[in-house]
Amino acid sequence: MENLDIQNLWKQNEILLEANRKLNLTLLKEMKLDKAKSSLFGLLFLPITTLIFYTIAGFYAMYFALEYAQFWYFAFSGAVVTFFSFWLVWSSIKQLKLILSIDYTEAVVKIQEKLAMLKTAIVQNLRIVAWLLPFGPFVGIFFFKAIFNIDLMALLNFNIIISFGITTIILEAVSLVLLRGLQQKRFNEKWLNWLLCGNGSQIDDALRYLKTIEDFQTETLK
């Protein structure tokens, strides 16, 4: 009889401990998920502004290329800005879709997977800029004409043309180095996290909050 009472008390204690663990986990999840949501809400500003700005820039660059089609360098510079603008627009739409598709009622692992995909999408913006670098001189031609109505090519002499070519080669080398550094296996390096500070670092904040939940779940199951 006494053994039966001890067993019942032990079972009741286990039930209370399990209930307490679930309550603590629920409270922790609510608190940390709210913080994760808040971090990612601040991240919405980047893709929205990028989407608006580069949509306008892309359509204007398209008009620019057609308007000055008789000058090959204006047509080419307009085409370059159009292409990269709409590439950034596509990347921003992808980021917005990922941010808005995160379901915070899903398992922590699922949320972590989506956040990892989101970080990859944000780094894609940097890769696009890296691809754009070799075309930097043509982007300069475009903006000087579009903003100041100055035809840089009309002002160039032989020495400046040589400098133009050298600059393009240097920027191409820089582009290749950046593209190599922006591979997925390097996503946790300090220099990249510094580069993403304020415009992607929110993902790492959210991942840390989720890691706290995951660690608590692991500890309580031991």
Model confidence over 158-171: pLDDT tens digits? 566 566 667 766 76
Query: Mean pLDDT throughout 40-48?
Result: 80
Rounded Cα distance between 107 and 114, Å, is: 11
CA distances from residue 135 to 95, 117, 157 in whole angstroms, order as listed: 25, 28, 20
Distance CA 96, CA 142 (A): 29
Q: In sequence order, which residues have a C-beta less than 8 Å from that of residue 101 and are 6 or more positions away?
A: 114
pLDDT band at 84 (very low <50, low <70, confident <90, very high): very high
- Compare 29 and 52 and report the one with higher pLDDT: 52
For residue 182, name the pLDDT band (cuts at 50, 70, 90).
low
Looking at residue 71, the DSSP 8-state letter turns out to be S
CA-CA-CA-CA torsion sign (57, 172, 154, 156)? positive
CB atoms within 10 A of CB 121: 21
Average pLDDT over residues 209-220: 62
Handedness of CA 129, 50, 187, 183 (dihedral sign): negative
pLDDT over threshold 90, residue 76: yes
- What pLDDT is attached to residue 214? 63
pLDDT for position 40: 73
**What pTM does this model have?**
0.71
pLDDT confidence of residue 18: 57
Angle of helix 72-101 versus helix 45-67 axis, rounded to 10: 160
Nearest to 188 by CA among 207, 214, 174: 207
Given a cut of 70, whether residue 79 has pLDDT beyond it is yes
When pLDDT is averaged across residues 55-79 and rounded to a whole number, the result is 95
Return mean pLDDT, the chain: 74
Of the pLDDT bands very low, low, confident and very high (cuts 50, 70, 90), residue 65 is: very high
195 band by pLDDT with thresholds 50, 70 and 90: low
Regarding predicted confidence, which is higher, 101 or 157?
Answer: 101
Residue 157 phi, psi (nearest 5): -110, -175
Radius of gyration of the chain from Cα atoms? 27
E strand or H helix at 11, and its extent?
Answer: helix 2-43
Tell me, what's the pLDDT at 81? 95
Nearest-5° angle of CA 85, CA 91, CA 95?
A: 140
Q: What pLDDT, in 10s, does the model give residues 115-128? A: 778 877 887 887 88
Torsion angle of the four alpha carbons 114, 115, 121, 127, in this order, in degrees rounded to the nearest 10? -140
136 closest CA partner among 178, 172, 160, 179: 172
